[in-house]
Amino acid sequence: MLPYSLHGQASDAPVFVLLHYLGGSGHTWYPAISWLDEKHRCITLDTPGFGAAAGVSGYDVAAMVEQVDQSIRELKLDNCIVVGHSMTGKVALVLASRQPDYLRGLILVAPSPPGPQPMSDEDRRSQIDYSASREEAEQFVDTAASERLPDVVREVAIRDAQRANLDAWRAWPEKGSREDWSQRIGTVNCPALLIAGSADDQVPAPAEQQQLTLSHLPDSRLEVIEGAGHLMPMQTPQQLAELMTAFAADL
């Protein structure tokens, strides 16, 4: 069972299962949960190597999928919308391709695509060489955001980045981001929403996401938050949450 936190009251509305980006944790989602938990239960999961799961092993995509799936089942959740952000966008899509009985919908926030993630050699080497110093963590967070995050939120993101398990961190640029699941995923018949930031240069641009990711999801749509960078749950939490709740209401 992965470490988790529960928010909101039980209701007939879908449950949001919230997964985080490389170097983040469930804390990533706290600003957005303020706009989600009035009508929805929200479950945050820390993936292997990050947050409270820093000591948990299993860093490849298949291992993360297995542990997320097992955690959802142990929590006895149903009517779930699984939400993957960045790294865990690929994880969430692979999980959805299994069509588990609890899955109601899929939301991908600035996702890593199902195939190898386009990344320059310089950026890949920078991620592999990361050593969790304060300076590196600040640079990582500030580069991912299109503008400086509010100080309190920024400090949470920096703290998450510094306490990450470096084996898990490096496993992503070395292996996970390079994994090609596109043929294995095929077509995923699940209602889906992909949310992109217009100022996000960490993952493929919206037009590329349409081809690389949404081509696997025939029942899907794309929304773009203008001016948003890669860290939308912390930078534009209200706009992100409004798109998520509207998607849930349409199901």
pLDDT tens-place string over residues 112-167: 999 999 988 999 999 999 999 999 999 999 999 989 999 999 999 999 999 999 99
The domains located in the chain, with CATH, are 4-250 (3.40.50.1820)
C-beta separation of 160 from 190 below 8 A: no
Question: Phi-psi bin for 16: left (phi > 0), alpha (psi -120 to 50), beta?
Answer: beta
Q: How far is CA 118 from the centre of its chain?
A: 17
* The pLDDT value given to residue 11: 80
How many CB atoms within 10 Å of residue 71?
Answer: 19
Look-up of token digits 């009251």: 9
Q: How far apart are CA 230 and CA 150, in angstroms?
A: 15
Q: How far apart are CA 104 and CA 79, in angstroms?
A: 5
Residue 10 has pLDDT above 80, yes or no: no
The residue among 10 and 80 whose pLDDT is bigger is 80
Q: How far apart are CA 113 and CA 85, in angstroms?
A: 11
C-alpha Rg value of the chain to the nearest Å: 16
> 1-15, 63-77, 93-107 — which is least confidently predicted?
1-15
Residue 25 has pLDDT above 80, yes or no: yes
How many CB atoms within 10 Å of residue 127?
Answer: 18
* The pLDDT value given to residue 9: 84
* The pLDDT value given to residue 201: 94
pTM of the model: 0.98
Q: Quick one: pLDDT band at residue 1, thresholds 50, 70, 90?
A: very high
Strands across the sheet with 103-109, in order? 4-7, 42-45, 15-18, 80-85, 103-109, 192-197, 220-225
HSE (side-chain half, CA atoms, 13 Å) at 52: 11
Query: Which residues contact residue 180 at a Cβ distance below 8 angstroms, ignoring those fewer than 6 apart?
Result: 114, 115, 116
What does the pLDDT look like over 46-93, one tens digit per residue?
Answer: 999 999 999 999 999 999 999 999 999 999 999 999 999 999 999 999
HSE (side-chain half, CA atoms, 13 Å) at 9: 3
Per DSSP, the three-state class of 18 is strand
Q: How far apart are CA 68 and CA 48, in angstroms?
A: 10
What does the pLDDT look like over 196-223, one tens digit per residue?
Answer: 999 999 999 999 999 999 999 999 999 9
Q: What token pair was written down for 133?
A: 């110093």
- Type of residue at 187: T
